[in-house]
Amino acid sequence: MVIYGVALLAICMLLGVVSGELLGVAIGIDANVGGVGIAMLILVLLIDYLRKNNKLNIKSQEGMSFWGAMYIPIVIAMAANQNVVAALDGGPLAAVAGITAVIASWAMVPLLSSIGKEESTFSNEELGGADNVRNIK
């Protein structure tokens, strides 16, 4: 099941990289601009099209689900590596901005994790005490 979909994933990645390079040239930047995102978009749209038209058998769909799940963290890790190298070459301001963004993100985790948590408005006495709750079978 894992082998199915690798060719489709590779084609999407190549199309995305070429599109990103062409976009970079078009706007005058000597870099790949959004190639990873374009590849992911092509992959999502292509899989959706093939599923709607019943062109993917079950094994291919399972393989694409696997590679779709693997694709995102692998490619983002590769892109992050390039961003770190570019930031270090860009000087100390780029490194400070990156470090500040990471620290701010870490600081937001407790705040974001508390959103949506329901707090109980009942006390132990209102529920019959902790002993009564434990003795209920």
Is 113 among the domain residues?
no
Mean pLDDT of all residues in the chain? 75
Is 1 among the domain residues?
no
Helix (H) / strand (E) element for 19: namely: helix 6-26
Domain hosting 18: range is 6-90
Residue 33's pLDDT is 82
Helix (H) / strand (E) element for 86: namely: helix 58-90
Which amino acid does the sequence have at 69?
A: A
Tens of pLDDT along 24-36? 889 888 878 888 8
Is 24 among the domain residues?
yes
pLDDT at 107 over 70: yes
Q: What is the mean predicted confidence (pLDDT) over 132-137?
A: 50
Residues 127, 97: Cα–Cα separation, whole Å: 51
C-beta of residue 43 within 8 angstroms of C-beta of residue 72: no
Q: What is the mean predicted confidence (pLDDT) over 104-115?
A: 85
Residue 137's pLDDT is 47
Q: What domain count does the chain have?
A: 1
Is 74 among the domain residues?
yes
Residue 19's pLDDT is 93
Stronger pLDDT, 40 or 2, i.e. the higher one:
40
Is 130 among the domain residues?
no
Is 122 among the domain residues?
no
pLDDT-based confidence at residue 1 (cuts at 50, 70, 90): very low
pLDDT at 75 over 90: no
Among 57-71, 72-86, 87-101, 104-118, name the one with the lowest average pLDDT: 72-86
What angle (nearest 5°) sits at the alpha carbon of residue 61, between those of residues 57 and 66?
Answer: 150
pLDDT at 115 over 90: no
Question: Which two structure tokens, joined as six digits, stand for 112?
Answer: 């974001």
Is 115 among the domain residues?
no
Is 30 among the domain residues?
yes
